[in-house]
Structure 1
Amino acid sequence: MDYSQFLNMIPEATLMLALIIVFCADFALSKSPRKTYVLSILTGALLLCQLVPCFLAEPATAFGGLYVSSAIVNVMKTVLTLGTFIVVVMSQSWLNNHATKISGEFYLLVISTLLGMYMMMSAGHFLMFFLGLEMASVPMACLVAFDRYKQKSAEAAAKYILTATFSSGVMLYGISFLYGAVGTLYFDDMAAQIQLTPLTIMGMVFFFSGLGFKISLVPFHFWTADTYEGAPTPVTGYLSVVSKGAATLTLAIILMHVFGRLVEYWQPLLWIVIMLTITVGNLMAIRQNELKRFMAFSSISQAGYIMLAVVGNSAASLTALTFYVLVYVAANMAVFTVISTVEENNGGKTQMNAYNGLYQTNPKLALLMTLALFSLAGIPPFAGMFSKFFVFMAAVGGHESAPFWPYFVVFIALLNTVVSLYYYLLIVKAMYITKEENPLPTFKNGAAINWSLAICTVGILLFGICSCIYEWIDKAAVAM
């Protein structure tokens, strides 16, 4: 065996090294009262260092095409690593209060999940993709159940793992159809040989259904609200942005590359699923009073917007998708950081009425929450407006054969943007307008929370106006 091929997997190799370092540090600090603090600093530093190999990695292949890394995949690895870093920073306060003795396991599970996402995105073979997917899903279920003193956390993990198991079975069933029809599971070979047959259509639909669960597309979204509500808030944030980003890029690459010849069949499927996902997510979010369930349905709607880019079936689609995920990481993690700190200082409450009058006592926190919500809604001049604009432009491009439907789908998405603005403003109304006799008292955030909010706020304000970021992503997408 040629072990030198691991040199082509620098991001994965360095992340595996980080996992080993954290594992050894967890043992060395087993009796230290400052264990959580030290491990948080160590894990955060390792993830910051991980940005370097992700950013500088060159496109490469290894192990006979099982591993295939492209420029756009390396860009997404950089984005997801940044999102994971924010999760690690914001989780320090929660771990200090809830899980001091097992904080090492939390960081190990987070890194393990990220490693699985790396492998999933860099797969060049369906079985390698499936192994990466499971490597990401199983530790994620453990993270959802991490709050061992909370019944809802165990319930959320049970729902997540049962649905994940069922969706994995459906996906494997579809992959077996594809193997039976083509005789290979390598992406390149399948793309060259695939033909329109009932077997390949069934395989494609089953595969899409299995991965649709990971992205929370309608009608595969039923697990999302219960899992988001029951999971620890830092884990909910991780699940909503990092996991979703990896799954969406992987699905986009496979649809555009492997199933490129069947584009006229999977595009109408995407049109229907996207309209349902955006509309159902928005309408259900309006009815929520619990903020984590509220953000769950918001994330379902956002998944529809992310997948809207794929409809364009071009390099611009991958650029828009990756840029949207980057902006979404900044805005959504800012929201969940605020939810986490309010929850910690308000007896664990996550109801919307807990934010009544927040501006009176914690004006800076209310302002940052407002900026993040405006970005999620796509209000200018925040980065969310630019990300939605690029997604809409990518969706309507390159459809000479069916020019009506892409514009109709984008029109539905634009209408839903107005709906989303309404329910995001419900939180703003609670913080600034709704009167509360006993609002949440003034409190000071820890340094970790402040750093997390600062990073997210910089992203919300600058990602949209710094054109070099979009150009960097576009260059990587064109080079694929």
Structure 2
Amino acid sequence: MNFLLISPEILLVCLAVFLVVLDLLLPDRETRSSIGYLAVFGLTGIMLVVINQFGAAGTFYADMYQLDRYAAFFKILFLAAVSLTLLFSFDYVDRLPRHVGEFYAMIVFSVLGMMMLASANDLITFFVGMGVMNVSFYILVGYHFNDGRSGEAGVKYLVLSAASSAVMLYGLSLIYGYTGSVTFEGIIQAVRPVPAMLAGCAMVLIGLGFKIAAVPFHMWSPDIYEGAPVPVTALLAICSKMAAFAVLLRILLQAVPALAGMWLPVIVALAAVSMIVGNVIAMNQSNIKRLLAYSSIAQAGYLLCGLVAANAAGIKGILFYGMLYVFANVGAFAVITAVKMHTGAEDIEAFSGLSRKAPLLAVVMTVSLLSMAGIPPMAGFAGKLYLFLAVVDQGYLWLALLGFVMSMISVYYYLLVAKAMYWGEAKDWHSYSVSTSLTCTAMLSLVATLLLGIYPGPLADLASMAAASLF
């Protein structure tokens, strides 16, 4: 076995253990605050290792674990998203009433689960990776135990996620029971459109639909997003969703493509309903985290459009949109973190007068939200263009038109936030005290969002190569 293929995962485990031990050894809380910087440094180093492996290909341990450009692209996405999220969260995490080392270690373990999902080539690795990610998020969502909303969110996420995982596990057992194989290669050779197989695939789709927060499996996301600590909400909105997409694409396109006539109409319906429900309900939200929760549901609908195409162009659109979604969300949640620490509130009114108190943060928030709405020249426009062109080429013109209309509707509620920032009256005129790390993260997300919108070519080429390796 070539252990170099799983060197990033080995390094992640070592990093998590190191952070916990360091947290126990450092003498006081002030010195332990430096653990966050070590976590970011370690994750960045591991990302460089994955980038160096981008062109490599191979399998590990009886073909159960696969390394290809598709997996490497998602791993880079996860590591970049988590590194940037931690970078703007240092001051916020220092205020949490527990050891910070535990917090950072659990985030590193959640990344390990995500990377396992991206490389899973069989049902066992898939479920173990999902379990590692889920258990980490169970702890992280309820980490702020002095906040009743965080505790409530943690319990809700535990119960609902465990239920969806149980349904998914039963579906996996049905697939294994019929095909006699846990590997995707073995399943594709034995798959037939029989009731047991269809029921198994439906249950797996239900479980993964919960993770990506697609309607009607979205009921958990608004409450959990609102109650969880801001950095954890950012990771749920970005990484958890994209990790579920990573394994969903592998299962549908590598394990059961013969059943496309059965699952494709379901994906079409999920995409359409998610775009409609997410955008319509978001218009009535006053809490910024709940607004972004429903926006995230709509984003899941846009991403599902790429799966509807079920070809390299559609997968390229998902990968491209997923990467730019990282920068847009990081920018938005960085600003939310600054506002939360300054005002102690998370409603849209807390952003009133932000353009006069912290002009840079107001610009970053505006650009991030408009990118999620798909307004040119922000990166979101290019991402949605790739997704909608892919479905139009497959004859789903109506779905692309629906996505365009829903994107225009999203502009309304995003501009409500901009209206508060630029025309709202501030409740106080105290200047914002923003850390250097948060400012750098906000600037990086702003530059990346604009640059990828104006010059999307290099990232689009990487996404094309990664999508081609899936087929």
TM above 0.5, yes or no, is yes
* Alignment check: 8 A CA contact 2:271 2:305 kept: yes
| 2:210 matches 1:213 | yes
Where in structure 1 do 4 or more consecutive aligned residues deviate above 4 Å?
A: none
The aligned counterpart of 1:71 is 69
The aligned counterpart of 2:45 is 49
| 2:458 matches 1:468 | yes
Stretches of structure 1 lacking an aligned partner (at least 5 in a row): none
The aligned counterpart of 1:389 is 385
1:439 deviates by 4.3
- Between 1:466-475 and 1:416-425, the stretch displaced more is 466-475
Structure 1 distance, partners of 2:304, 2:8, is 26
- SS for the counterpart of 1:479 is helix
| 2:261 matches 1:264 | yes
The aligned counterpart of 2:108 is 111
Alignment match of 1:416 (pick from 406, 410, 413): 406
| 2:433 matches 1:433 | no
| 2:10 matches 1:13 | yes
1:30 deviates by 4.5
Structure 2 distance, partners of 1:281, 1:32, is 41
**Structure 2 CA distance for partners of 1:364 and 1:32, relative to 1, 3 Å:** closer
* Alignment check: 8 A CA contact 1:354 1:440 kept: no
- Between 1:446-455 and 1:16-25, the stretch displaced more is 16-25
Structure 2 distance, partners of 1:225, 1:213, is 13
Q: How does 1:170-189 map to 2 (within 5 A)?
A: 170-189=167-186
* Alignment check: 8 A CA contact 2:74 2:115 kept: no
Calculate percent identity across the aligned residue pairs: 31
Structure 1 distance, partners of 2:94, 2:32, is 9
- SS for the counterpart of 1:34 is helix
Structure 2 distance, partners of 1:178, 1:479, is 25
Structure 2 distance, partners of 1:440, 1:430, is 15
The aligned counterpart of 1:200 is 197
Structure 2 distance, partners of 1:96, 1:128, is 34
The aligned counterpart of 2:142 is 145
**Structure 2 CA distance for partners of 1:354 and 1:173, relative to 1, 3 Å:** same
The aligned counterpart of 2:92 is 94
**Structure 2 CA distance for partners of 1:468 and 1:437, relative to 1, 3 Å:** closer
Structure 1 distance, partners of 2:426, 2:299, is 35
Structure 2 distance, partners of 1:264, 1:420, is 32
**1:285-339 residue CA offsets vs partner (Å, 9 max, x unmatched):** 0110011111110111111111111111112222111111100010011111101
1:164 deviates by 0.7
- SS for the counterpart of 1:68 is strand
Q: How does 1:263-342 map to 2 (within 5 A)?
A: 263-342=260-339
Structure 1 distance, partners of 2:247, 2:426, is 49
1:437 deviates by 5.8
The aligned counterpart of 1:24 is 21
**Structure 2 CA distance for partners of 1:68 and 1:30, relative to 1, 3 Å:** farther
* Alignment check: 8 A CA contact 2:382 2:456 kept: no
Alignment match of 1:126 (pick from 123, 130, 135): 123
Which residue identity does 2:260 align to in structure 1? V
**Structure 2 CA distance for partners of 1:200 and 1:437, relative to 1, 3 Å:** closer
* Alignment check: 8 A CA contact 1:378 1:388 kept: yes
Which residue identity does 1:48 align to in structure 2? T
1:244 deviates by 0.9
1:438 deviates by 2.7
1:474 deviates by 0.9
**1:88-112 residue CA offsets vs partner (Å, 9 max, x unmatched):** 111101022234x510001000000
Which residue identity does 1:226 align to in structure 2? D
- SS for the counterpart of 2:66 is strand
* Alignment check: 8 A CA contact 1:361 1:439 kept: no
**Structure 2 CA distance for partners of 1:98 and 1:249, relative to 1, 3 Å:** same
Which residue identity does 1:378 align to in structure 2? G
The aligned counterpart of 1:359 is 355
Structure 1 distance, partners of 2:21, 2:447, is 34
* Alignment check: 8 A CA contact 2:173 2:200 kept: yes
Q: Number of residue pairs matched? A: 467
**1:387-412 residue CA offsets vs partner (Å, 9 max, x unmatched):** 11011122233x3xxx3xx2111111
Alignment match of 1:375 (pick from 368, 371, 377): 371
Which residue identity does 2:457 align to in structure 1? S
The aligned counterpart of 1:453 is 442
Structure 2 distance, partners of 1:437, 1:117, is 40
Structure 2 distance, partners of 1:17, 1:396, is 46
Alignment match of 2:219 (pick from 209, 218, 222): 222
Query: CA-atom RMSD, angstroms?
Result: 1.3
Q: TM-score, normalised by structure 1?
A: 0.95
- SS for the counterpart of 1:288 is coil
The aligned counterpart of 1:237 is 234
1:33 deviates by 2.3
**Structure 2 CA distance for partners of 1:440 and 1:248, relative to 1, 3 Å:** farther
1:479 deviates by 3.0
Structure 1 distance, partners of 2:283, 2:375, is 18
